[in-house]
């Protein structure tokens, strides 16, 4: 039984009352939209209505400073002078003239796209545009081939669904993306959760479970921490495991020409599969699985998302080629990103925040209960700095995070403004970003936490 102070009990009662009132207003508004002769929707069965009611009661309560306003949504609009640290567009490629022109030209050609699964459309002929890009990106990553998917989520789910035998162990970092956990579930494999970046725990789990699949992110998207890839690879090889690395937050930003951390560390000859969302540094809407050619064909015809999802349309491929050209050729963007990252981390640390949980372009401000993260978000947004609120299921229930994603497009004065806003917010709301207090106890909600929501 959790012991609560009188103040905590009062706050909890008030929050429950607010949530209950919101749910009653929601039900009344639904009833008002119905006419006597025609209901707009069927009545929900009891099991679902209870689930929805529980969601509003526990997770969509009112904003503490604005009754009737759901806490999740911002109180402030992002104006033209705001510092946008919400986007995963690390290299500031949205609106790039070369990519824009490629997209416009592709649409202007008026080519009709067959809207169908890639197992029907993709051929081995030289004029297959998707095959050409897959080969080009696969060679860029260093594995020679690959498969385009509708999203990074689909790439991870389909990969593990197709590769992991039923009941086999999949050793997965506890902060890995939810799509990897969903892939394990789809395969009916056994998830073996490993403490974050803890190679001693990985060794213990491997020794107990035997050969399987080892899955890590190269850069974790909530904290900005890097995986100890060399040690992970050595352990996976020692125990005869397949190695999968999600490079979503390193492809385009890390290594020579942005080829990723696996390539930068000289591990391309030792990794079996690399996955990535192209909705990060590539600023596109697609995902990718990089692997050798024999595995490419196996995955294309066994991974359910590639079989049962529509392939990318013809006009979506030329902008991807142009994006890869820009990523490879414009090194100044990576230089700007890392200069901005270094300066921003220095400024935030100087303002008194604990951001030692990461080192990369993602800065996760650990806030504890979500109400603390909301206060910090509101204080920063009032000063023109916009980050992303992460809470369950993106984090553990009482370990919310306000994430700041640094990018190459930040102007000269933006880092100074960020530091000033961080100091002022700290004075207003107190030190809500603090150490999580050690390792996780392992007591979690049944649903795995995500590592990214986009």
Residue-by-residue DSSP string for 281-347? TT-SS-EEEEE-HHHHHHHHTT-HHHHHSBPPPGGGHHHHHHHHHHHHH-HHHHHHHHHHHHHHHHH
What pLDDT, on a 0 to 100 scale, did the predictor assign at position 60?
85
Whole-number Å distance between alpha carbons of 409 and 441: 39
Whole-number Å distance between alpha carbons of 326 and 333: 9
Residues 274-321: tens digit of each pLDDT: 999 999 999 999 999 999 998 999 999 999 999 999 999 989 999 999
What pLDDT, on a 0 to 100 scale, did the predictor assign at position 20?
64
pTM of the model: 0.86
Contact 117, 308 (CB under 8 A): yes
What pLDDT, on a 0 to 100 scale, did the predictor assign at position 449?
45
Q: Determine which of 166-170, 330-334, 383-387, 439-443 has the lowest per-residue pLDDT on average.
A: 439-443
Q: Determine which of 122-136, 216-230, 349-363, 370-384 has the lowest per-residue pLDDT on average.
A: 122-136
Strands (E), 110-219: 145-149, 169-173, 190-194, 213-217
What pLDDT, on a 0 to 100 scale, did the predictor assign at position 325?
98
Q: Which of 259, 261, 225 is nearest to 403 (CA)?
A: 225
**Token pair in block for residue 444:** 């979690």
Residue 35 has pLDDT above 50, yes or no: no
Over residues 109-125, the mean pLDDT reads: 80
- The structure tokens 């890639």 sit at 118
What pLDDT, on a 0 to 100 scale, did the predictor assign at position 446?
34
Residue 437 has pLDDT above 60, yes or no: no
Pairing of strands 242-246, 273-277: parallel
Query: What percent of the chain is predicted at pLDDT more than 70?
Result: 88
Q: CB neighbours of 144 closer than 8 A, spacing ≥ 6?
A: 135, 138, 292, 293
Over residues 365-381, the mean pLDDT reads: 94
Residue 438 has pLDDT above 70, yes or no: no
Residue 388 has pLDDT above 60, yes or no: yes
What pLDDT, on a 0 to 100 scale, did the predictor assign at position 43?
86
Q: Which of 392, 307, 343 is nearest to 118 (CA)?
A: 307
Whole-number Å distance between alpha carbons of 253 and 333: 9
Whole-number Å distance between alpha carbons of 245 and 432: 33
Contact 319, 286 (CB under 8 A): no
Angle between helical axes of 229-238 and 199-209 (0-180°, round to 10)? 20
| DSSP calls for 85-108 | -----TT--TT-HHHHHHHHHHHH
What pLDDT, on a 0 to 100 scale, did the predictor assign at position 32?
46
Q: How far, in Å, are 111, 158, 203, 343, 412 from residue 346 at the CA level?
A: 50, 40, 34, 5, 15
Residue 1 has pLDDT above 60, yes or no: no
Contact 141, 289 (CB under 8 A): no
Whole-number Å distance between alpha carbons of 454 and 222: 11
Residue 125 has pLDDT above 60, yes or no: yes
Q: Is the dihedral of CA 324, 328, 333, 335 positive or negative?
A: positive
What pLDDT, on a 0 to 100 scale, did the predictor assign at position 436?
41
What does the buried/exposed string (b/e) look like for 24-51 if buried means 16 or more CB atoms within 10 Å of the residue's CB? eeeeeeeeeeeeeeeeeeeeeeeeeeee
Contact 357, 224 (CB under 8 A): yes
Average confidence score pLDDT of the chain:
89
Q: Which of 313, 354, 373, 351 is nearest to 436 (CA)?
A: 354
Over residues 431-449, the mean pLDDT reads: 44
Over residues 380-384, the mean pLDDT reads: 96
> Which position has the higher pLDDT, 408 or 29?
408
Q: Which helix (H) or strand (E) holds 427?
A: helix 414-429
**Token pair in block for residue 239:** 């125990």
Over residues 186-192, the mean pLDDT reads: 97
Whole-number Å distance between alpha carbons of 319 and 328: 14
What pLDDT, on a 0 to 100 scale, did the predictor assign at position 57?
84
Contact 149, 288 (CB under 8 A): yes
Structure confidence at residue 419 as a pLDDT band (50, 70, 90): very high
> Which position has the higher pLDDT, 23 or 110?
110
Q: Is 199 exposed, middle or buried (0-12, 13-18, 19+ CB in 10 A)?
A: middle
What pLDDT, on a 0 to 100 scale, did the predictor assign at position 29?
54
Pairing of strands 400-405, 388-390: antiparallel
Pairing of strands 190-194, 83-84: unpaired
Q: Which of 363, 429, 362, 373 is nearest to 399 (CA)?
A: 373
Residue 440 has pLDDT above 50, yes or no: no
Q: Which of 411, 422, 255 is nearest to 345 (CA)?
A: 422
What pLDDT, on a 0 to 100 scale, did the predictor assign at position 298?
95
Residues 242-282: tens digit of each pLDDT: 999 999 999 999 999 999 999 999 999 999 999 999 999 99
What pLDDT, on a 0 to 100 scale, did the predictor assign at position 66?
86
Structure confidence at residue 407 as a pLDDT band (50, 70, 90): very high
Give the chain's count of helices (H) and strands (E). Answer: 16, 14
């Amino acid at each position: 039984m959790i012991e609560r102070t009188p103040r905590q009990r009062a706050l909890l009662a008030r929050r429950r009352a607010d949530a209950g009132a919101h749910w009653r207003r929601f039900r009344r508004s639904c009833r008002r939209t119905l006419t006597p002769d025609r209901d707009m929707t069927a009545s929900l069965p009891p099991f679902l209505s209870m689930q929805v009611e529980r969601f509003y009661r526990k997770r969509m309560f009112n904003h503490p400073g604005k009754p009737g306003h759901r806490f999740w949504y911002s109180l402030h609009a992002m104006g033209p002078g705001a510092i946008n640290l919400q986007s995963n567009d690390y290299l500031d490629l949205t609106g790039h003239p070369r990519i824009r022109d490629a997209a416009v030209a592709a649409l202007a050609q008026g080519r009709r796209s067959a809207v169908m699964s890639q197992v029907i459309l993709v051929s081995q002929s030289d004029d297959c545009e998707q095959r050409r890009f897959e080969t080009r990106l696969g060679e860029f990553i260093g594995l020679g081939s690959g498969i385009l998917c509708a999203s990074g989520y689909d790439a991870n789910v389909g990969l593990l669904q197709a590769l992991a035998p039923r009941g086999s162990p999949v050793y997965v970092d506890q902060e890995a993306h939810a799509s990897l956990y969903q892939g394990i579930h789809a395969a009916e494999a056994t998830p073996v959760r490993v403490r974050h970046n803890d190679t001693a725990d990985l060794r213990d789990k491997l020794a107990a479970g035997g050969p399987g699949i080892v899955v890590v992110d190269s850069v974790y998207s909530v904290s900005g921490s890097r995986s100890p890839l060399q040690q992970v690879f050595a352990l996976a090889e020692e125990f005869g495991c397949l190695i999968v690395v999600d490079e979503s937050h390193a492809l385009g930003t890390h290594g020579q020409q942005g080829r990723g951390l696996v390539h930068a560390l000289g591990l391309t000859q030792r990794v079996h599969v690399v996955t990535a969302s192209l909705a990060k540094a590539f600023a596109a809407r697609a995902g990718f699985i990089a692997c050798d050619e024999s595995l490419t064909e196996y995955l294309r015809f066994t991974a359910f998302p590639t079989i049962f999802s529509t392939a990318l349309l013809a006009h979506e491929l030329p902008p991807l080629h142009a994006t890869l050209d820009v990523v490879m050729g414009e090194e100044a963007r990576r230089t700007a990103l890392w200069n901005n990252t270094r300066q921003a981390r220095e400024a935030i640390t100087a303002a008194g925040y604990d951001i030692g949980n990461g080192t990369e372009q993602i800065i996760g401000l650990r806030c504890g209960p979500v109400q603390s993260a909301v206060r910090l978000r509101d204080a920063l947004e009032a000063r023109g700095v916009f980050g992303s609120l992460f809470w369950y299921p993106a984090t553990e229930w009482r370990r919310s995070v306000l994430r700041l994603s640094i990018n190459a497009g930040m102007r000269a004065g933006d880092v100074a403004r960020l530091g000033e806003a961080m100091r002022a917010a700290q004075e207003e709301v107190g030190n809500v970003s603090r150490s999580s207090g050690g390792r996780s106890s392992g007591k979690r909600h049944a649903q795995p936490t995500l590592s990214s929501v986009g």
